[in-house]
Amino acid sequence: MTELGSGSTPRLPHTQTAPLSVQPSSYAAAVERYVASAGISKSSAEGYRISLTTWGWMFAGEPAPTGPARRGAKPPAFPIGVLDNLALPEVLAELMAARADEMGADAVTRELYIARAAIRWWRGGGLDRL
């Protein structure tokens, strides 16, 4: 079951985690490593960074920056191991539904694609490859 952060934003509980296959790192560092290794253009990398930063704020249960403040925003500080939480699929579903109401399904589908690809890379040991 998810916890509630500030307001009604779901966030990952800090219990029931499965061990990561990589050494713990901050979410911000993981975002940078993923973007650097994704083999994408500079303009796409900026979009990925913005999307992953937004998801990071939501994972932390805090309001994500909106509008022009999204560009250049930094992810919140939390260990990347939080994303190995067994409740992650449920939290992603709740966050996606809330974001779809706010931004529309197409925008959220693009953001979710980026988040899922990054999480798959992190959990697959991508952080160890750098």
In which domain, by residue range, is 81 found? 44-130
Residue 11: inside a domain, yes or no?
no
The domain tally of the chain equals 1
For residue 127, the surrounding DSSP H or E stretch is: none
Q: What is the pTM of this model?
A: 0.71
- Axis crossing angle, helix 27-37 with helix 42-59, rounded to the nearest 10: 150
Residue 7: inside a domain, yes or no?
no
Residue 5: inside a domain, yes or no?
no
Residue 18: inside a domain, yes or no?
no
Residue 119: inside a domain, yes or no?
yes
Residue type, position 78, single letter: F
The four Cα atoms 33, 35, 37, 43 give a dihedral, to 10 degrees, of -150
What is each CA distance from 126 to 20, 103, 113, in whole angstroms?
11, 30, 17
* Residue-by-residue pLDDT tens, the chain, 130 positions: 444 344 455 554 443 333 444 454 688 888 888 898 889 999 999 999 999 998 888 888 788 888 888 888 888 888 877 777 788 778 878 877 887 888 888 888 888 899 889 888 887 776 554 4
